A and B are shown apart, each in its own frame.
Chain A
Amino acid sequence: MSSATSRTSTLGVAPPPRPTLSFDHLGCVIAIIIGIALFAAPFATYRATRIASGEARFLIEALPIAMGTVIVVVSLGVAVVAVLVRDPFGRLGSAVIGLAVLLPALGLSAGFLTPADNTFARVSPSLGFWLLTLSFSLLAIDALARLRLGPYGRLVALAVGVSALALLLFSGIWDSLSILKEYHTRADTFWREARQHLLLAFGSMAAACIIGIPLGIAAYRLKTLRTALLQGLGIVQTIPSIALFGLLMAPLGAIAASVPLAAALGIKGIGAAPAFIALFLYALFPIVANTIAGLSQVPAAAVDAARGMGMSARQQLVEIEMPLAFPVILAGIRIVLVQNLGLATVAALIGGGGFGTFVFQGIGQTAIDLVLLGAIPTVALSFASSIFLDALVDLAKGAHA
């Protein structure tokens, strides 16, 4: 898959001269979603216990009347801006204001709906809340895409988003929400699984870099190795994760049974070892392929000049070729990280731990909050890492431009 961002400008046909009052098409869609969210969908769900079936609470019942009115007024304001205002800054600003009112209000609603001294009742966001969040986010994402922020701009936007989320989580505003109650009853496990998740994802990525980059350099020089290696790793890439975990269990189990040292090191058929190895194998392909691609696009003139300056082959590699190939290798690392953070979820199925533990437990107990407790951090982590590394790739490219 190749992105074609450079084509956007040639394709984005210049808009015809606008009449004085024109409706933004995307804005109309967003306004319709906001309308449905406010008046036709429940804002929150109330459950008497964590696995009881939910009762819908519309906006008017879910919040004190003043706060409910504020939400309606702000949301309608955002809808008007979405339809009429074309300036991306204005659109972004209104979306941010919308989110800044909506997100804390969810916590208020949870406190409002939970009867005093009731520790069993659960309040979780419902369709209306999700649709409002969706429409405000769509508006913000669209505005950000139109602003075409540079790498620093995107890093700042990411930092603002992360801090806002941290503020919501640690200020206690959301503490009455069902998912946070779920978190508080298992905070220790949560952080243990979080550490395990990161260990699996980042550890296997680091291992893949240590092995994959030298392999890529060797494969760049030797054509026979290159073809065989890329084909072999390509095949591994197509094997579904759970199948690969399964395929690794038998040999690892056998090793653990026959080599006491391996068993002492914690290598066994189930658990983190097969998961780590599987993630490592998946990670090799993008790293090796991008190392080769990065080295192939180093201009021959640069290498010639280095040779002319009397550099040894080693110096050429370290001082010229690798720095020039770096942005492409970094792009490979970005692919690996996002892929690993997602795949590590499946590791829980074979006892490898990670956020997947909550997802699969939640599926087993049909407790959606538990599922979300595992799924939301996973999605947030991969989302943040992809923005962060995308910006780094752009910065690395810029350094050589």
Chain B
Amino acid sequence: MTLPSVVRLLGLLLLVAFITMPQAFAFIFEPLITRGAPAIYNQGSLLALTLQHLRTVFLATLASTALAVSLGIFVTRPSGAEFLPLSRSLVNIGQTFPPIAVLAIAVPLVGFGEKPTFIALFLYGLLPIFENTLTGLTQVPAQAIEAARGMGMNAWQRLSQVELPLAFPVILAGIRLSVIISLGTATIGSTVAAKGLGEVIIAGLQSNNIAFVLQGGLVVALLAVLIHDGLGLVERAAARRLGRAPDEVS
């Protein structure tokens, strides 16, 4: 076993151990609290919050992936080519919007709770996936498409058997970025009453309990790092299957 995979496994074990039996770690956080405040978050189960957090991110990413990849395919076909320059500009502009702004603007429109968080995650998650779908599809070598055409493949076959598989690692990199941004935005989502791990941090900030803030921060940070790392492994495996050098995409 290599060193990185040992660290990875230890991190995962630590995370699972902490969210399933947080009381066992109470001794670490006790020095931080004052006046008999609880050392471990006591307004809900960490496990349930983690699962809820992951569910929101997963559903939003799924929805953004479906729409962003379809849009990416559409604007790279001849029939959608008129939309290509505009869509590139829109992605660039969209990325200057801070996720919190999207979240805050969604609240008055749809109310508090899961909905504004989901909308912010979905909209903001579109951008990296769309951008990478464009990059991936436009980087497919013209010879590969010509060869596919020469073999008698129709447009649909060329797309599904040549272009998309070749663009897949790049699209995956976009999805990874989108997931990481979403994990962070979902944390802020707790300020608009969405269920998630941000609750622990916010509760700590409101009751001036640094132990809550620290454990919430640690769980969210560890979760993000592990997911980022895990998706990176998938991405490299996908790139390797294409026989490419496993280039580090950040």
* Cα–Cα, bound, A36→B35 (Å): 60
Sample of 29 A–B contacts (CB below 8 Å): A1-B132, A4-B134, A4-B138, A8-B138, A10-B138, A11-B81, A26-B83, A138-B86, A235-B225, A238-B228, A240-B184, A240-B220, A242-B217, A243-B220, A246-B204, A247-B218, A249-B213, A250-B32, A250-B210, A270-B205, A342-B96, A345-B100, A345-B101, A346-B100, A363-B104, A374-B104, A375-B101, A375-B104, A378-B98
Q: Is the CB of B217 within 8 A of A243?
A: yes
Other A-B contacts than A1-B132, A359-B101, 16 sampled, CB-CB below 8 A, are A3-B131, A12-B84, A13-B81, A141-B86, A142-B85, A240-B183, A253-B210, A338-B96, A342-B97, A346-B188, A349-B205, A360-B191, A371-B104, A379-B98, A382-B96, A382-B97
Question: How many residues of chain A are within 8 Å of chain B by beta carbon?
Answer: 63
Q: B104 CB to closest chain A CB, in angstroms?
A: 5
Chain A 6-40 near chain B by CB (<8 Å), digits 1 or 0: 01101111010000000011100000000000000
Residues of chain B with a CB closer than 8 A to A146's CB: 85
Of all chain A residues, which has the CB nearest B220? A243
Partner of A234, one of B84, B95, B205, B250: B250
Chain B 100-138 near chain A by CB (<8 Å), digits 1 or 0: 110011011000000000000000000010011011001
Q: Is the CB of A26 within 8 A of B86?
A: yes
Main secondary structure of the interface of A (DSSP, over half): helix
Q: Is the CB of A145 within 8 A of B88?
A: yes
Interface size class of B (residues with CB under 8 A): 35 or more
Q: Taking beta carbons and an 8 Å cutoff, which residues of A are in contact with B?
A: 1-5, 7-8, 10-13, 15, 24-26, 138, 141-142, 144-146, 234-235, 238-247, 249-250, 253, 269-270, 289, 338, 341-343, 345-346, 349-350, 356, 359-360, 362-363, 366, 368, 371-372, 374-375, 378-379, 382-383, 386
6 A-B pairs with the lowest CB-CB distances in the bound complex, closest first: A342-B98, A240-B184, A246-B217, A368-B108, A145-B85, A243-B220
Of all chain B residues, which has the CB nearest A25? B82
Q: Is the CB of B184 within 8 A of A242?
A: yes
Chain B 199-219 near chain A by CB (<8 Å), digits 1 or 0: 001101100001001101110
Q: Is the CB of A247 within 8 A of B142?
A: no
Of all chain A residues, which has the CB nearest B132? A1
Q: Is the CB of B187 within 8 A of A242?
A: yes
* Cα–Cα, bound, A341→B98 (Å): 8
Q: Is the CB of A240 within 8 A of B187?
A: yes
Residues of chain A with a CB closer than 8 A to B217's CB: 242-247
